[in-house]
Amino acid sequence: MGIFGAMTTAITGLRAQSYALERISDNIANSQTTGYKRSDASFADFVADSPARQQALGVVNAFSRPTNTIQGDIANSEVPTHIAVNGDGYFIVGVQTDTSDGLPVFGSEDLYTRRGDFEFDQNGFLVNAAGYFLKGLPIDPVTGNPSGSSPEVIRISNDFLPASATTQMVYRANLAEYPLTANADPDIPGTELIDAFDYSVDPTVGGAGYIQANESSIFIDQSIAGGAITAFDEAGATVNVQFRWAKTDGAVTRAVHSGAAVGNPADLAGGMAGAYNDGTNTNDTLTLTVGGIPYNFAIGTDGGEVNTLDDLVNAINGTATLNGVVSAANVGGALVLTSLDYTSSFTVGGDADALAGLGLTASTYDPGASATETWNLFYLEDSAATGANPMWRNAGVDYTFGGDSQLNPPIASTTIPALTVNGVNLGSITINHGSNGITQFADTNGVAKVTDINQNGFAAGELVGISVSEEGRVVASYTNGRTVDLAEVTLASFNGDGGLAKSDGGAFRATAESGPPIIGALGSVVGSALEGSNTDIADEFTKLIVTQQAYAANTRIISTADEMVSEALNMIR
């Protein structure tokens, strides 16, 4: 081919360098385009078949080389719905093909993009600046897992989040080893306890399972409150549920020698006033035997007998001899026994026709004799209760601790049927403690320390914001403080990324060379962020200089060939 062949080859070189210049121009122009993937130029030579010793001239051809697998810089964005892909993968987007009733109609073909500047349009769709609609998998509100396997266009509704009734509460706490209840006195053993008789045995004292409002002071001190939680009924009404703990000693048995049961102080007082009042004016003597030691008291005077329990209480309170051994408190007329030394009975005697034969028997309490302790959980049933009306309700479960400060047997949860607070019935509520959630380790503060308290119900709420979480989920925020996962942004990957066909707006189409999309790429979605162009301006300018020089060199080939042809033509002159 000679001179003309060299000229033809140089022309293909000019064409190839021009193609490379187009790539450089496109890259520089899109250096600030979100998610843009630059294209580099590749060159290949084409030669005709010829003998090895007589190789024919070749020509050069230029091809584009995509850089889809090269990531651009990820920068933070102030828009919560902006997202970026960190690593492998593409957002799956839908393309609007028509409009029906003011809403977009989408074609069947999916496109794929790294451009994540999505924002909401007037219909609640997430659309990027190129006009593509984000697709993902809806979240099942019950399981919290993605439902289905085919991504669909994400659309967010502005509807209110309906109220959800509370059905479960999480309550974990450490109970004080020595609770500072209202009556607690370290010098008098057992004063920190609550007599189970006061709330679970005799309805005339406090009712089965509850504490009267006028007895709440002996129930538990305000400082040992277990914490409060806002629960919700089916209508979303808020109810402040408060729990408290009580360390109890078990039921107390009271009886008289005649065999008639004394179930409460009123019975005891009635027995004294009736069966044991002889009506005389003689001085009587009361003998209390504690730990084998008799204590004698003059309880009668000329002009009166012991006719009521108050008279007996006043007599004991006025005697300094028994302080710290036997005490009495006029709380609902109850006689409180706090001795560690009494055995199974007390001997009460006097003259032959006065109080002879009256006795008390009580269960012995000795914390040093047993390593187990029993607690009960109460909730505030009626915060406005007064008088003998129920205020605190016992949950009805014994929490028994062993010597290792752990529950024995373990209690992972307890269910309170028809839990009612201030007239609002919350239905059946399960209180979850979890594994070792209720403990009784030493705490000098003497109060219950709540380590975890929450519930699963909530009131209705209005949508206030949408964001994308670190897990790649579209999350709705409501005025009631709740956040709800609505959809999961789905990523697709390809075995042959370089075979994807470019489309407008930084999108790609799947081709035979790229292979079909694989749902579930290894990359992760980053919320409030955007991936920038992977174009490097400095690198592009360097390539521009090289391309310019290569182009100029090819023009020199053509100029030289032209001069050689001119010389050949001038030979005939």
Tens digit of each residue's pLDDT (9 = 90 or more) over 245-299:
877 764 333 222 222 333 333 333 333 333 333 444 344 454 544 444 454 544 4
Lowest-confidence region among 106-115, 194-203, 243-252: 194-203
Whether 90 and 64 map to the same domain: the answer is: no
Whether 235 and 378 map to the same domain: the answer is: yes
Q: Are 493 and 89 in contact (CB under 8 A)?
A: yes
Q: How much is the pTM?
A: 0.62
Domain boundary at 455, 485, 503, which? Answer: 455
Tokens of 380: 């505030």
Domain boundary at 455, 490, 517, which? Answer: 455
Q: Are 138 and 147 in contact (CB under 8 A)?
A: yes
Q: Is residue 30 predicted with pLDDT exceeding 80?
A: yes
Q: Are 166 and 231 in contact (CB under 8 A)?
A: yes
Distances (CA, A) of 434 to 375, 402, 408, 410, 417: 17, 18, 14, 10, 19
Residue 259 covered by a domain? no
207: CATH: 2.60.98
Domain boundary at 395, 422, 455, which? Answer: 455
Per cent of the chain over pLDDT 90 is 42
Work out the average pLDDT over 130-140.
95
Whether 106 and 50 map to the same domain: the answer is: no
Q: How far apart are CA 249 and CA 76, in angstroms?
A: 62
Distances (CA, A) of 367 to 177, 201, 362, 484, 529: 12, 22, 15, 50, 63
pLDDT bracket for residue 538 (50, 70, 90) = very high
Whether 65 and 80 map to the same domain: the answer is: no
Q: Which residue has the higher pLDDT, 235 or 259?
A: 235
Mean residue pLDDT of the chain comes to 77
Quote the pLDDT of residue 198.
55
pLDDT tens digits for range 407-419: 989 999 999 988 9
Residue ranges with strand state E in 131-182 = 133-138, 152-153, 168-174
Domain of residue 93 covers 74-162+462-531
- HSE toward the beta carbon, residue 56, CA cutoff 13 A: 10
Q: Is residue 388 predicted with pLDDT exceeding 70?
A: yes
Q: What kind and span of H or E run contains 439?
A: strand 438-439
Quote the pLDDT of residue 171.
92
Distances (CA, A) of 501 to 22, 69, 478: 18, 14, 41
Q: DSSP character for 344?
A: S
Whether 471 and 325 map to the same domain: the answer is: no
Quote the pLDDT of residue 449.
84
Amino acid symbol at 194 = I
pLDDT bracket for residue 324 (50, 70, 90) = very low
Residue 309 covered by a domain? yes
Q: What kind and span of H or E run contains 345?
A: strand 345-347
315: phi then psi, degrees, rounded to nearest 5: -65, -45
18: phi then psi, degrees, rounded to nearest 5: -65, -40
Lowest-confidence region among 40-54, 175-189, 293-307, 408-422: 293-307
Quote the pLDDT of residue 291.
42
Q: Which residue has the higher pLDDT, 373 or 79?
A: 79
Work out the average pLDDT over 490-503.
95
Residue 256 covered by a domain? no
Residue with tokens 């209508």: 235
Q: Are 379 and 392 in contact (CB under 8 A)?
A: yes
Whether 376 and 228 map to the same domain: the answer is: yes
Whether 85 and 129 map to the same domain: the answer is: yes
Q: Are 487 and 91 in contact (CB under 8 A)?
A: no
Q: Are 52 and 561 in contact (CB under 8 A)?
A: no
Nearest-10 Cα torsion for 307, 313, 318, 319:
100
Residue 504 covered by a domain? yes
Whether 522 and 564 map to the same domain: the answer is: no
Conformational region of residue 159, where left means phi above 0, alpha means psi within -120 to 50, and beta covers everything else:
beta
Q: What kind and span of H or E run contains 453?
A: strand 449-455
Q: How far apart are CA 312 and CA 310, in angstroms?
A: 5
Quote the pLDDT of residue 216.
66
Quote the pLDDT of residue 187.
73
Residue 421 covered by a domain? yes
Q: Which residues of 529-558 are buried (b: 16+ CB within 10 A; e: fewer)?
A: bbbbbbbeeeebeebbeebeebbeebeebb
Most confident of 138-142, 192-196, 447-451, 488-492: 488-492
Number of independent structural domains in the chain: 4
pLDDT tens digits for range 352-366: 222 222 333 333 333
Q: Which residues of 48-83 are buried (b: 16+ CB within 10 A; e: fewer)?
A: eeeeeeeeeeebbebebebbbeebbeeeebeebbbb
Whether 540 and 524 map to the same domain: the answer is: no
Provide Rg for the chain, Cα atoms: 45
Q: What kind and span of H or E run contains 96?
A: strand 90-100
pLDDT tens digits for range 423-477: 899 999 999 999 889 998 887 778 888 888 888 889 899 999 999 998 899 999 9
Lowest-confidence region among 32-36, 183-187, 281-285, 401-405: 281-285
Residue 257 covered by a domain? no
Q: How far apart are CA 285 and CA 353, in angstroms?
A: 11
Whether 356 and 299 map to the same domain: the answer is: yes
Residue 467 covered by a domain? yes
Q: Is residue 206 predicted with pLDDT exceeding 70?
A: no
Q: DSSP character for 125?
A: B
Whether 244 and 390 map to the same domain: the answer is: yes
107 C-beta neighbours (distance < 10 Å), count:
11
Residue 87 covered by a domain? yes
Quote the pLDDT of residue 446.
80
Q: How far apart are CA 440 and CA 279, in angstroms?
A: 53
Quote the pLDDT of residue 134.
97
Q: Is residue 45 predicted with pLDDT exceeding 90?
A: no
| Three-class secondary structure of residue 458 per DSSP | strand
Whether 475 and 436 map to the same domain: the answer is: no
Work out the average pLDDT over 110-124.
95
Quote the pLDDT of residue 221.
52
How long is the chain?
573
Q: How far apart are CA 548 and CA 544, in angstroms?
A: 6
Q: How far apart are CA 491 and CA 112, in angstroms?
A: 9
Q: For the chain, how far is it from start to end, CA to CA, in angstroms?
A: 25
**CB-neighbour burial class of residue 210 (10 A; exposed 0-12, middle 13-18, buried 19+):** buried
Quote the pLDDT of residue 136.
95
